Amino acid sequence: HLDVIESAEPSVQAFLKISADVAREQADAFDALSDEDKAALPELAGVPIAIKDMIVTKGIETTAASRILEGWVPPYDATVIERLKAAHMPLLGKTNLDEFAQGSSTEHSAFHNTNNPWDLDRVPGGSGGGSAAAVAAFEAPLALGTDTGGSIRQPGALTGTVGVKPTYGGVSRYGAIAMASSLDQIGPVSRTVLDSALLQEVIGGNDRRDSTSIPEPVRPVAAAAREGLKGDLKGLKVGLIKELQGEGFQPGVQARFDESVALLKEMGAEVVEVSLPHLEYALGAYYIIMPSEVSSNLARYDGMRYGLRVMPPEDVPQTAANMMAYTREAGFGEEVKRRIILGTYALSAGYYDAWYGSAQKVRTLIIEDFKRAFEQVDVLVSPTSPTTAFRFGEKTEDPMSMYLNDIATIPANLAGVPAMSIPAGLSDDGLPVGFQFIAPQQRDEVMYKPAAALE
Ligand code: GLN
């Protein structure tokens, strides 16, 4: 994989940092184990992995693709990194993303763009475009991402890879740089459903250091994926989300989606249409709740504790407040600033009830929609993204058009339910299409089975 990285990186640019020495050392340590020790490790032992640069790695620079963290070397590992190390999975490097995971194209990285391996003139999606592109280009067999509103699944759709957002609390967030804490979730990126399942079993399960971690063992997702590979879905009830198809979805995306649904039926699944009436308001609620949490989480980048510090010019009073202002002005990009301002406004005393309070109520209605839907069906499906990969610059001038790309992925984050995207063939433009499964909370295995059957 280090060789592939060397040949593919100049055109793909999936990585912010390649940790070749660390990877080689870990691979050698794995090779040196006795057969008995190797047999006691998870199946993925020895398989290398790329890590979204939103997850902290001890001794390896971690930036969240922001100038404000440039040069920061974490003194500790995220829980997921500890677990990968315990499983003897070598770390290939840190992958590119939209700054602080805010975006849908990786164009908001402070450092460089990542190119979609399917068409280098197009975006790989975002925010985890680097992890998805690295896996799509065979630079890494596996990667980790973070998903707050679709940042694992939408890049999966746009690059023809598998991307999973586990149940909220199913994978520890300790050491994941916080974007919007009530929505953030770490999850797998891979080329097959079974690979993601095996990876979820390595990284998942309870962690005392994350207060929102579910105090249960990781779900049996690999067994479900293996069961799915047999291709028999008799007895499974699948719900087509009425609000997430048709108008606004590219015809080629809708066509591949419809064909995949037909395949599910062929394998014995019963398919019905289900309505989640409040999804209409999901994007609106997300773009109030998410920036509110962003504005609060990003307050810690104050020039004192991490990374960048910019002192005011000499003619400006040399106060801590001014230092903070100059640091944040220089260190944050435009999109991050936009969200900090939006969130600060939504949380301000006079507007709190009107904006944040209303958005939280909408969130509850969406959670209830999902509960009602799962009384009727086992698993829900929709296209992952309304479009295939778009061209660089196409949506950067108009933040709203960028935000709209997440229409199908955001609801699962608001409800905390598990969801995944798998490749569903190519659209008329020759670019990959993603098919999304959504399962009930803490029932991740329910989506792994049909996903493995369909891929
Ligand atoms: N694209 C979405 C956003 O810009 C989701 C980001 C994410 O999941 N980290 O907020």
What digits encode the pLDDT tens for the residues 340-370?
A: 999 999 999 898 899 999 999 999 999 999 9
Q: Is 213 a catalytic residue?
A: no
Asked if residue 410 has its Cβ within 6 Å of ligand 1, the reply is: no
Mean pLDDT of 48-66: 98
Cα 395 to Cα 125, 126, 129, 164: the distances in Å are 12, 12, 15, 25
DSSP per-residue codes, 265-319: HHTT-EEEEE--GGGGGHHHHHHHHHHHHHHHHGGG-SSSSSS---PPPTTS---
Secondary element (H or E) of residue 49? strand 49-52
224 DSSP assignment: H
Among 3, 450, 6, smallest CA distance to 228 is for 450
Give the pLDDT confidence of 203-250 residue by residue, as tens digits.
999 999 999 999 999 999 999 999 999 999 999 999 999 999 888 899
Distance 360 CA to ligand 1 centre (A): 18
> Catalytic pick from 17, 19, 52, 385?
52
Does the pLDDT of residue 307 top 90, yes or no?
Answer: no
pLDDT in tens, 244-296: 988 889 999 999 999 999 999 999 999 999 999 999 999 999 999 999 999 99
| Atom in ligand 1 nearest the alpha carbon of residue 180 | 9
pLDDT of 85 higher than 90: yes
Is the pTM higher than 0.90? The answer reads: yes
Which domains, ranges and CATH numbers included, belong to the chain? 2-239+258-272+379-454 (3.90.1300.10)
C-alpha to C-alpha distance for 376 and 199, rounded to whole angstroms: 30
Q: What is the pLDDT of residue 134?
A: 99
Q: What is the ipTM of this complex?
A: 0.97
Ligand 1 pocket check for 105: Cβ under 6 Å: no
Please state, as a whole number, how many other Cβ atoms lie within 10 Å of the Cβ of residue 253.
Answer: 26
Angle between helices 445-454 and 251-266 (to 10 degrees): 100
Q: Is 9 exposed, middle or buried (0-12, 13-18, 19+ CB in 10 A)?
A: middle
pLDDT confidence of residue 349? 87
pLDDT band at 58 (very low <50, low <70, confident <90, very high): very high
Place of tokens 């990585």: 15
A 10 A CB-CB count for 297 gives 18
Mutate to test the pocket of ligand 1, among 165, 406, 414, 436 (most ligand atoms within 8 A of CB): 406
User: What is the average pLDDT across 8-16?
Assistant: 98
- Span 108-166, pLDDT tens digits: 999 999 999 999 999 999 999 999 999 999 999 999 999 999 999 999 999 999 999 99
Is residue 296 among the annotated active site residues?
no
**What is the helix, strand, coil percentage profile of the chain, to 5?**
40, 15, 45
- Answer for the pair 417, 167: CB distance below 8 angstroms, yes or no: yes
Q: What is the pLDDT of residue 102?
A: 98
Tokens of 26: 């870990």
pLDDT of residue 400: 86
Question: In 3D, which of 162, 96, 100, 166 has the Cα closest to residue 129?
Answer: 96
Question: DSSP class of residue 354?
Answer: I
At 446, the pLDDT band (50, 70, 90 cuts) reads very high
CA-54 nearest atom, ligand 1 = 9
User: 313: which residues sit within 8 A by CB, 6+ positions away?
Assistant: none
Ligand 1 mean position, distance from CA 129 (Å): 11
Residue 441 has pLDDT above 90, yes or no: yes
Q: CA 322, CA 115: separation in Å to the nearest integer?
A: 38
- Beta strand 379-383 with 162-165 is unpaired
Please report, rounded to a whole number, the percentage of residues in the chain having pLDDT higher than 90: 95
Query: Which residues contact residue 145 at a Cβ distance below 8 angstroms, ignoring those fewer than 6 apart?
Result: 52, 54, 128, 131, 132, 151, 152, 155, 163, 186, 187, 188, 189
Give tens-digit pLDDT for 313-329.
Answer: 999 999 999 999 999 99
Looking at residue 160, what is its pLDDT?
Answer: 98
What is the per-residue pLDDT across 394-416, written as a single tens digit (0 to 9) for each? 999 888 888 988 999 999 999 99
Amino acid occupying residue 115: N
N-terminal to C-terminal alpha carbon distance within the chain: 24
Nearest CA to ligand 1 atom 10: 102
Catalytic residue check, 242 = no
Distance CA 236, CA 228 (A): 11
Which DSSP helix (H) or strand (E) runs through 82? helix 79-86
